[in-house]
Structure 1
């Protein structure tokens, strides 16, 4: 394995590169190496994910980022509750408000920050909308589940969770391809995670069972020779060969998040193994044997390619790395005192 985390114990998730990508306008989407590409501006998709990540962080070290990212998401919301996604570096918003992924991710970020009355009010405005896209609804459902931790009777959150399960669908008949879509595409594990979140919040054991079934199948389908072999950028169908490239960090991070929720619900060690396998993918236990974590910058590389890695360290990949390491620390007790990197590589 080509890169290690300080050649020893697993350390806390780094925020160094995330701060490098952040300025007064927001969080830059793209980077050339570790240098932000300001010409591409910012997007709610990334800033909302960043808000989730900094809200998870213990203590007050990221309070300034939390306020900054929350302010960005609030500014992106239109009066009717929908969200614009893109903002130029001159701070002008582009495009019309929508209920695409940016809407779902914005509600996820607002749910993570729901202890703040501003976030809760903005969530309530946005939660009245519905999206026809399963992933947008799944992201929104995760935010709704977070809101219910603050306001257990929040009607908008409860209704949104129920609606999300209808759009996502249930496992398809047959064991070979139970996935509710003809192909795996992106951030796939968010679909079973949303079913798990809805099932737990709505006291619906059948939804939990469906979420666990889909997540278990997805984890097995993305494991090859004992390590993750995640869906490539072009997706994967039932007849596609493996491995495929370019593999995206968001896939490993989505698996880590979903396995973390499954472990919280069930307590089963299988899901701890899934979290560790996702972290190990970043550290080099993958189809190429190359680490996507840059300990010098604190960033995550943008993709796993057939002959190496994409050296650019943009927001999505860095957030995927940070999020996955957070889940290791939260769900693997030994990691709070340093989990040996060899243990993570050895998950099989």
Structure 2
């Protein structure tokens, strides 16, 4: 029997008419922490992936798009942190939040079911595409948004330029087969780096680049699989030739793997990638190092981390959106 799925009820609980609150204590929103562009962008990604959203979910997409366009300055950079009293607490920049905003806007421009949302998201995406970030993950996230645009508009020059620049910033993997990765360490959302290289190789017709990305992702999946279950790199990261901690594992790692493996499956037609998506889904249902479910059926919220003592029962935005994103891929599995 298929396991229950979380749906969007906790995301609706975390959201108001401004955006999505970043943190929760168990399932109760902690409003004093306010909002961040990172999570709102993730929310726009998952809302726009739904082909036939209910009215409440369409309203969330409207809200999230309005937040991102408010966060964007005339140069295309973005603020990240908005307090509960609706004041920005930072200056616009091109850190990870810029990359995720570009991912959200690109996904909305390509997939959202509402025509005017697609149009306005593309306008903001084009403005943001004038920027570049020195940070590989920021560029990877932005490149994933560019890939979404290119899949529906193959001749979009700004998206094509951004995607190829993202792959270049990620860099080529090391030639050492024991560590075929562009950096000597793994930190967070690692699979996004491999995914953007895969997308760049596929959409540009660059076969060696595509093969490089697939090899990166294969290695990343292999080193994070133990006895057929996922055991992802924890929040502390892992440096080459150093001991690897087992906890605190984060849902964002699992969601990034699910995203990348779903892209690899689409690009290659190889069913082996579907099995890797299933491992990501299973991690949330308890096929993990603690044997514990990583979400609450009562609330629909995703738990914030897998610790040595079991789940961190707080259900913030990042973990809940990682859960929803992964389960969206489950629904598309053959």
Instruction: Give TM class, smaller chain.
Output: over 0.9
Does 2:98 correspond to 1:96?
no
Aligned residues, how many? 325
Which residue in the other structure is 1:183 paired with? 185
Which residue in the other structure is 1:265 paired with? 267
Helix, strand or coil: the match of 1:304? strand
**Shift, 1:186, TM fit:** 0.2
Q: Tell me the TM-score normalized by structure 2.
A: 0.95
Which residue in the other structure is 2:33 paired with? 40
Which residue in the other structure is 1:112 paired with? 107
Structure 1 counterpart of 2:78, from 79, 83, 102 = 83
Structure 1 counterpart of 2:258, from 222, 247, 256 = 256
Q: Tell me the TM-score normalized by structure 1.
A: 0.91
CA distances 1:279-313 after superposition (whole Å, capped 9, x unpaired): 11111111111111111100100000011110000
Structure 2 counterpart of 1:326, from 321, 325, 328 = 328
Structure 2 counterpart of 1:228, from 227, 230, 233 = 230
Does 2:65 correspond to 1:59?
no
For structure 2, the 5+ residue unaligned runs are 111-117
Q: Distance in 2 between matches of 1:247 and 1:218?
A: 15
CA distances 1:188-231 after superposition (whole Å, capped 9, x unpaired): 00001000111111111111101100000000010112111101
Helix, strand or coil: the match of 2:306? strand
Is the CA contact 1:199–1:206 (under 8 Å) kept in the aligned structure 2?
A: yes
Superposition map of 1:3-18 within 5 A: 8-18=1-11
Q: Distance in 1 between matches of 2:325 and 2:182?
A: 26
Which residue in the other structure is 2:16 paired with? 23
Which residue in the other structure is 1:304 paired with? 306
Q: Distance in 2 between matches of 1:181 and 1:129?
A: 23
Q: Distance in 2 between matches of 1:234 and 1:71?
A: 34
Is the CA contact 2:173–2:183 (under 8 Å) kept in the aligned structure 1?
A: no
Is the CA contact 1:13–1:326 (under 8 Å) kept in the aligned structure 2?
A: no
Q: Distance in 2 between matches of 1:210 and 1:224?
A: 24
Structure 2 counterpart of 1:209, from 205, 208, 211 = 211
Question: Comparing both chains, which one has the higher relative contact order based on Cα–Cα distances under 8 Å and sequence gaps of 6 or more?
Answer: 1
